[in-house]
Each structure stands twice: as structure tokens, then as C-alpha cells.
A and B are shown apart, each in its own frame.
Chain A
Amino acid sequence: MALTLTDVSRIAHLARLELSSAEQATMLEQLGGFFDIVERMGAVDTRGVEPLYTPLSAVQAVALRLREDRVTETDDRAANQASAPAVEGGLFLVPKVLE
């Protein structure tokens, strides 16, 4: 199933990426070439195969680990906000979202 420019535009919106029309055209061509290879996956019969989401579970039981509920980090707001684009009074600034 071939991708269209409409698909590229929709995916870019979902990914929160602004792409110019020239970029969208290039992207369409490159993704098209890539998905030609991807389609080969569909030919393999994988019925009954469990997906392998994390590699060690191929050979051992992997359980999600929960840590003890206690304070481990100290507050260091100045260091944590040192690289923020816009900060005021210890708060992150974003464009107005409510009128």
C-alpha cells in the first residue's frame, strides 16, 4: 500500500513536525523506498509467535521492578531549569493556552 502526500502531512502533524512542501515530497519518496523493504516482513507467518518487546525476555523471565517509595532526589530547581528556553519565578513559560 503506497503512501501519499496526504499521509505524510498527517504523520508530520501527529509527530509535531512542520515540514515544507519540498520536505514532504522528499520524505514521501524516501519513505516509499523504505516501505518497499518493510513489506517483505508481511510474507512471514508469525501466527502464535509472542512479540519480543525487551530482549532479555527471550531467555529469562523479566519482571518490572518497583523501587521502594522513598525520597531519593533533592530539589535542585536552578540546575534543572538551567537549560530551559523560558523560565520565570521557577516556572516554565509556554504560550497562552486558555483565553
Chain B
Amino acid sequence: MSAIPLFAMGVATLGAELAAKRVSSVELAGAMLDRLQAHASLGTALSMDREATLAQARAADARRASGQATALTGVPVAHKDIFVTRFATSRLPSTAGSKMLIGYQSPFDATVIARLNEAGTVTLAKLNCDEFAMGSANENSAFSPVLNPWDRSRVPGGSSGGSAAAVAARLVPAATGTDTGGSIRQPASFCGVTGIKPTYGVCSRYGMIAFASSLDQAGPMARSAEDCALLLSAMSGFDERDATSAERPPQNFHAQMLAPREGATAARPLQGLRIGLPKEFFPAALAADVEGAVRGALRELEKLGASLVDVSLPRTELSIPVYYIIAPAEASSNLGRFDGVKFGHRAAQYGDLLDMYKKTRAEGFGPEVKRRIMIGTYVLSHGYYDAYYVQAQKLRRMIADDFQACFKACDVIAGPVAPTVAWKLGEQGGDPLRAYLADIFTLPASLAGLPGLSVPAGSGAHGMPVGLQLIGNYFEEGRLLHTAHAFQQATDFHLTEPVL
């Protein structure tokens, strides 16, 4: 056994420990299951199946003994409960954080899950999230809120709040998440972990319970860029079962992360990197503590050889209505499948078929999901489609074009992830608009389909974590990971842990 406890180790370190046979996968899985259970009060896990986890760990140990191990074989992870997982393998329901899907038994694994299983990861739990991934605080879960491990009176962010909190609290080495309008980057920022949303199409959407199909992307959340790179390599890749999957060869993001830049030196690994700062990402309304941490991180990147250039994303504010038209429009269509017939909740009392649909959906969906279905139905309805939906999609093109104009002057765009640190549970008083407005800095990259990453950049008020957002051009995940890795080699923000 090593001197530092197992829970303190990330993916890369655990991979090395397992390879050196200093720990077995069974021993590791058992220890992490105990730790998840001991800290159940944080609300991160929705379901666990101890026997299935240990069986998977035994299989990983056997695979290693036969010399067939990958870098991830035997490494425990947990999955946002927006990915379906085959119920016959592990008795874990797939709920999307919704009453609509309580106890739902998926007949198959999502592609992302299947690929991680093939690499040999061991599933510890399904993790809490906002209902159908709609939310920025994890307060929209039908089951329970998730508490931020840095301050239990605060939210962890959302919608991948269970994933972020579990990684931050060192309950799991890493977790999967999904990001539609910031749902990986914002909770990563609020909890002080590293998370990347790849380019749209890099990870298969097959088996990800659909929210907004032209925006949804899966990605890893972990303690470092290196751990994210290892996981993303295994999770991603072309999948013929996803009609919008990008057709390209498998990527080794870890190798891309390590590849030195031309002209780089040990002291200046980011030599020549031009980092664009959109002036709209530093408005007067940006909290001073967040701006302070972000500017500090940018100075660090300059020391590492990067140069800062001013750029502009003039439609940043407009991205809020554009996103909150397009995403609900797609959601209202996707959620039409929940009709109480083929799967999920059905109302106990009803009259005719129409009444069954209406009562089933009224009972099964929570308030935020209903709001978005209503917005989506309205903007797609006769007479409003052109003024709202088509206009939003045209503005989306203009937002994507604005990014391309920026990338003529810079290689990577940087800024805050969110305007403030994590707020207090219940603080928004049920005013959905306040949460929508706080998504301002993550929505533009989502609408354009660009990769975005949040890297811990220190802390703001009340000791709460602040993330630095890095946005790259299409398929430049390697450059984002390389930049974040260089930053993490020079700083220790990602190594700080909350006291539980």
C-alpha cells in the first residue's frame, strides 16, 4: 500500500498503482464504495449495486493478470444518471433525475458507457443531476439536491452537479457528465474540478437521455486535465448509432496533451500561444472575486509563454434568448416520447387516452421541465416558428461566425465560466430567469458546438472555487488539454480538497 490514501489519487495515478500491482481493482472498488456510502449525505449518488461493482472489479483484475489491461482497466468511475446503463448487468435504474423514469430498466448501455466498460473501468454509482439535465444548480433533481462539498449550504452547479461534487469530495476519481449549455463546465467551476465538453459530435449521444439533440455532448469530469484526457480518449469516437457523430479516426487526447508546442521550453511550455479575451466576458456585472481569480490565472498563463489578445464576441448576451429558444424547442420534441405507454410513469387515474397523456406528464415532470416544454411548444407552434425558432437559429449562425472571426486573432479563447461563485441553495427563490442569465459565458460555445473546458483557477469569496474557461476551435480538444495541463503543472489549485 502507498502512503497516500486511495481516495486521494486520480485516474492516472490509480492506473499506475494498478499496473504496479500495489493495489487490486477489487480492493480499490471496495474502498471507494465505502467512501461513497459514508458521504451519502452530499446527495451525489442516486443508485449503487455493490455486487455488480465488485464483479466488474474482479473481471478487471483477471484481465490485468492475463496481460490485457488498458490505462483505465480497474479504475473506478461513476456515471451521470443521464446515460442509460444496461439493467441486466448492474441493477442500476436509469432515471435522468426524473420521477418520470423512477426504476427505469434500460435494455442497453449508452455508447459512452459501453466504451468505458470495454476499456475496463469499474462503475461505482449513477450520479444525481438536474431532471433531464435541465438546470444550473442540481436543485431540479426529482430525488434530492446535491450539496457543494466546499460549503454544504451552497449548490454544486448543474446539471452535472452530482458528478462535480463527487469528484471534488474525492468520492470518485472521475465521472462522466453531459453539457448542453454549460452542464459540465459550470459545475466543474463551482466545485473546483476539471471538466471538458468536447466538440459537438466527438462523443456519441446514443443512450444519452435526450434533452436538446443539436447541443448535447458528453465529457469527462476529473481532478486534472491529464485524467480528463485519458477518459475522453476512451469515451469518444465515431458511432454509427448517432446520426450526428463526427466521422474521424480515434483520437489519443493524452498524447495530444503531452505533445510540446513548437518553440516551447520547460519554463515556457505555452510559448507562442495566443489567448483571446472577449471583452463581453468581462462585463461590469462580473463578480470581482471571480474576475480576480480569472485574471490571476491569465497572468500565470502569460508566465508560461502565452500572450493575451483582445477579441470580441458581440452577441454574447443574445446567446441567452437564442439558447433558451433552441434548447426548449428540441426538448419539447424529445420529451414527447414520455406518454405513459412504452416506459416510465403512468398516472393512476385517468379518463380517455388524451387525459392519460396529460395527467401522466403533469405528474411525471417537474416544474422546470414543464416550463421548457411549454416554451418549446410555443416557439414551434404555427405563427411563431419564424419569429422565434428560425430567428434564433440564424443568430446561432452569427454567433458561430463571431467565434471564427476571433480565431483569426487567437488560438484559444479564455474567460470566466460563470459570473459568480456557487450560490446558496434556494437563493434564486424559484425565479428561473436568474439561473438562465447566469449561463451567459457557457452558452456561446455550446451554440457554436465548440469544445470548452473548465480548469480550477483558485478561489473567490467564502473560499469557493472559481474555474477558468478555455474555448478552442472545432476538434481542438488536444490544445485545450495541453494548455490546462501546462497550467496544472505550474499551479496547485486542482489539488486542493474540501474538508468533509
Contacts and interface: CB of A to CB of B under 8 A. Distances in A.
B is a partner of A: yes
Interface of A: 7-8, 11-12, 14-19, 23, 27, 30-31, 33-34, 37-38, 40-42, 44, 46, 49-56, 58-59, 62, 64-65, 67, 76, 79-80, 82-86, 92, 94-95, 97
Contacts of A56: 199-201, 244, 246, 449, 474
Nearest to B370: A17
A69 to B, nearest CB: 13
Interface string B318-345: 1011101100000010001001111111
Interface in B399-444: 400-401, 404, 431-433, 436
Contacts of B494: none
A49 B394 contact: yes
A27 B356 CA distance: 22
Interface SS of A by simple majority? loop
A86 B346 contact: yes
Interface string B367-402: 000110111111001000001101111111110110
B359 interface: yes
Is the contact region of chain B dominated by helix, strand, or loop, or is it mixed? helix
B350 A95 contact: yes
A58 B374 contact: no
Interface of B: 87-88, 103-105, 107, 199-201, 214-215, 240, 243-244, 246-247, 315, 317-318, 320-322, 324-325, 332, 336, 339-346, 350-359, 361-362, 365, 370-371, 373-378, 381, 387-388, 390-398, 400-401, 404, 431-433, 436, 447-450, 474
B358 A16 contact: yes
A76 B107 contact: yes
B439 to A, nearest CB: 12
Contact of B400 (A15, A52, A79, A85): A52
B107 A53 contact: no
Contacts, number: 172
A55 B200 contact: yes
A85 B347 CA distance: 9
A55 B181 CA distance: 13
Contacts of A8: 374
Given A17-B374, A56-B474, A65-B240, 20 more contacts: A14-B381, A16-B354, A18-B361, A30-B431, A30-B433, A31-B378, A37-B436, A38-B321, A40-B318, A41-B325, A44-B315, A46-B391, A49-B394, A55-B201, A58-B448, A65-B247, A83-B343, A84-B341, A92-B342, A95-B351
